Amino acid sequence: MAEGAPLVHDEPIVYVHGAPDDLAEQNQGSAQRGTEHVTINFPIGAKPHSNIAAAVHGRIGNVEQGFAEADVVLERTYESKQVQQCPAETHVCYTYMDGDRLVIHASTQVPWHLRRQVARIVGLKQHKVHVIKERVGGGFGSKQDILLEEVCAWATCVTGRAVYFHYTREEEFISNTSRHVAKVWVKIGAKKDGRLTAIDMNFLANTGPYGNHALTVPSNGPALSLPLYPCDNVNFQVTTYYSNICPNGAYQGYGAPKGNFALTMIPGGDGGTTADGSAGYHRAQPGS
């Protein structure tokens, strides 16, 4: 669960689907979800905070000099769209009290994070929260976030009753985290013999309303792609922005494919390069 994500309805809502259903008033026999019978008017709140969720910059060598020494320079921009992991099993959670101990059965990829966060939210010591990680029916990164477990735990602590809740497929699509939307600008320079002289990457990511994995996923774009190509002059900039779209978070590959795709595709547009990228740069030479 990201800092600032709403738990109960009287907290600020920055995403229209961020307000959870009234879990305590639902049961397995409910014909419809509670929100289908509720109309909420969203007033315009105070001035929003900065829309930058995370930013990081790294630099090795002198990229300006590297581009000046290059025989060929290529510059391109690539984009990735928001994609849902769509696991066979949606998010599901069952909570109850065992004496003074809170027990959580959950389909989760992060049981230790879940215990730490829930303990903080409900005001219990961590040893008073027992998380049982059930066999996960598919996650692909989507179950690295805490989406409904903390609400079930809160309802159990308040009422003392067991709580069971699972997402419908529609709820999974609008409330679960998905792949980060990204725009990757890449500029590379190389000598005629294929040696790289400079690489510059600007990675822009859209994290949605809460900033789930806002630093780690986008940072992996350059961090897990640039070291694969030997080059003495490298620069990268990562900036992640908030917006009012479905939340983004962990997704299979965890940001690495975006950076790798950009660096692989830029030489000839078809990705046909050797391990050090030299083949593509030979094709990119004028008159080669």
What's residue 7's pLDDT?
55
Q: Confidence band (pLDDT; 50, 70, 90) for 50?
A: confident
What's residue 279's pLDDT?
43
The amino acid sitting at 15 is Y
Give me the number of domains the chain comprises.
Answer: 2
Average model confidence (pLDDT) across the chain: 85
Quick check: 271 pLDDT over 60? no
- If asked whether residues 194 and 169 sit together in one domain, one would say no
- If asked whether residues 69 and 120 sit together in one domain, one would say no
Residue 203 within any structural domain of the chain: yes
- If asked whether residues 201 and 220 sit together in one domain, one would say yes
For residues 147 and 108, is the Cβ–Cβ distance under 8 A? Answer: no
Quick check: 278 pLDDT over 90? no
Q: Where is mean pLDDT largest: 10-14, 16-20, 34-38?
A: 10-14
**In terms of residue numbers, what domain contains 224?**
52-83+178-284
- If asked whether residues 93 and 150 sit together in one domain, one would say yes
Read off the CATH number of the domain in which 262 is found. 3.30.365.10
Q: Confidence band (pLDDT; 50, 70, 90) for 267?
A: confident
pLDDT tens for 129-185 read: 999 999 999 999 999 999 899 999 999 999 999 999 999 999 999 889 999 999 999
- If asked whether residues 164 and 227 sit together in one domain, one would say no
For residues 237 and 203, is the Cβ–Cβ distance under 8 A? Answer: yes
Q: List, in order, residues 6 or more apart from 97 with CB less than 8 Å away.
A: 103, 156, 157, 160, 162
- If asked whether residues 245 and 115 sit together in one domain, one would say no
- If asked whether residues 65 and 202 sit together in one domain, one would say yes
Residue 191 within any structural domain of the chain: yes
- If asked whether residues 221 and 240 sit together in one domain, one would say yes
Residue 223 within any structural domain of the chain: yes
